[in-house]
C-alpha cells in the first residue's frame, strides 16, 4: 500500500493513526499542499485523485479505480480487511453513535476550515487574517460545543466508552488544528481529556504531524 498525504493534513493524520493501530505497513508519499501552488493540483496526482485532496491510498502500483480517497472511507476499508482491534462497535446503534461523532468533525467542522477554504477566503474573497481566524474559530466553537455534549453522553476513557474508535481518529487531528489557530479549548474539558488519553498511545503519538518525514 501507498499512502499519499501531507504532514499537516487532518484527514491524512486520521489514516496514519488507523494504519498504526492496525499494524499495517504503507509507504508514505508526501503531497505538498502549499509548495508550487500545491502538488495536489498537478496532473499526475489529479489523475490518481480527481478531488485533488489528500489522503489517497493505493493498493498496488497502478493508478486506477482501486485508488481510495476520503479518509473515513479509507479507514473503514482498513477496518474491514483487518478486523483486529475494530474501530467501530459491534452493535448497529453503537456504530451509529460513533459515526455521528466522527462525522461531526469530518463533515461539520473540518470542511469549513480546511486549507482550500481558507485559501479561497484570503486569496479570492480578499478576507484579511483577522477575519479568516474569526471564521475558523466560529466553526470550531460550533462543532466542538456539539461534540462536547456527545462526549458527556457517550465517552469513557475515549470518545465512546473505553475503546478507541473512529471518533477518536477524527477528534485528535481536529484538536491539533484548533491549537495551531490558538482556539481557546478550555470550554471543552471532555474533548481535551479524550485528546490527552489518545496521545498517550503510541499509535497516535507516532502519527503526529511533527513526527512525519515531510514535516517542516
Cα 65 to Cα 53: distance, rounded to the nearest angstrom: 16
Yes or no: say if 71 and 11 are a contact pair by the CB < 8 Å rule. Answer: yes
Q: Mean of the per-residue pLDDT values for the chain?
A: 96
pLDDT range class, residue 104, cuts 50, 70, 90:
very high
**Buried-state track 160-173, b at ≥16 Cβ within 10 A, e below 16:** beeebbbbbbbbbb
Evaluate if residue 18 carries a pLDDT over 70.
Answer: yes
What order of strands is seen across the sheet that includes strand 56-58? 27-30, 2-5, 56-58, 68-69
Q: Please give the pLDDT value at position 208.
A: 98
Q: What is the pTM of this model?
A: 0.96
Evaluate if residue 152 carries a pLDDT over 60.
Answer: yes
Cα 88 to Cα 77: distance, rounded to the nearest angstrom: 12
Q: Which tens digits make up the pLDDT trace of 69-90?
A: 999 999 999 999 999 999 999 9
Torsion-angle region of 175 (φ positive above 0: left; ψ -120 to 50: alpha; else: beta): alpha
Evaluate if residue 39 carries a pLDDT over 80.
Answer: yes
Q: Please give the pLDDT value at position 60.
A: 75
Q: What is the mean pLDDT of residues 206-210?
A: 98
Yes or no: say if 194 and 169 are a contact pair by the CB < 8 Å rule. Answer: no
Evaluate if residue 66 carries a pLDDT over 90.
Answer: no
Q: What is the mean pLDDT of residues 138-153?
A: 98
Q: Please give the pLDDT value at position 61.
A: 62
- DSSP conformational letter for 66: T
Q: What is the mean pLDDT of residues 91-98?
A: 98
Q: Please give the pLDDT value at position 69.
A: 95
Amino acid at each position: 500500500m501507498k499512502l499519499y498525504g501531507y504532514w499537516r493534513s487532518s484527514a491524512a493524520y486520521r489514516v496514519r493513526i488507523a494504519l498504526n493501530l492496525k499494524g499495517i505497513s504503507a509507504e508514505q508519499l508526501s503531497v505538498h499542499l502549499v509548495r508550487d501552488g500545491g502538488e495536489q493540483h498537478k496532473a499526475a496526482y489529479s489523475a490518481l485523485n480527481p478531488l485533488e485532496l489528500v489522503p489517497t491510498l493505493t493498493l498496488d502500483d497502478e493508478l486506477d479505480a482501486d485508488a481510495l480517497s476520503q479518509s473515513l472511507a479509507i479507514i473503514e476499508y482498513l477496518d474491514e480487511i483487518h478486523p483486529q482491534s475494530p474501530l467501530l462497535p459491534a452493535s448497529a446503534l453503537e456504530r451509529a453513535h460513533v459515526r455521528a461523532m466522527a462525522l461531526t468533525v469530518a463533515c461539520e467542522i473540518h470542511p469549513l476550515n480546511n486549507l482550500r477554504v481558507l485559501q479561497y477566503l484570503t486569496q479570492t474573497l480578499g478576507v484579511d487574517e483577522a477575519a479568516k481566524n474569526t471564521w475558523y474559530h466560529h466553526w470550531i466553537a460550533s462543532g466542538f460545543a456539539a461534540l462536547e455534549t456527545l462526549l458527556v453522553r457517550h465517552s469513557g476513557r475515549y470518545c465512546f466508552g473505553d475503546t478507541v474508535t473512529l471518533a477518536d481518529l477524527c477528534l485528535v487531528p481536529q484538536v491539533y488544528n484548533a491549537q495551531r489557530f490558538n482556539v481557546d479549548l478550555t470550554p471543552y474539558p471532555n474533548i481535551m481529556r479524550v485528546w490527552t488519553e489518545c496521545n498517550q498511545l503510541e499509535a497516535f503519538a507516532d502519527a503526529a504531524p511533527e513526527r512525519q518525514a515531510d514535516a517542516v
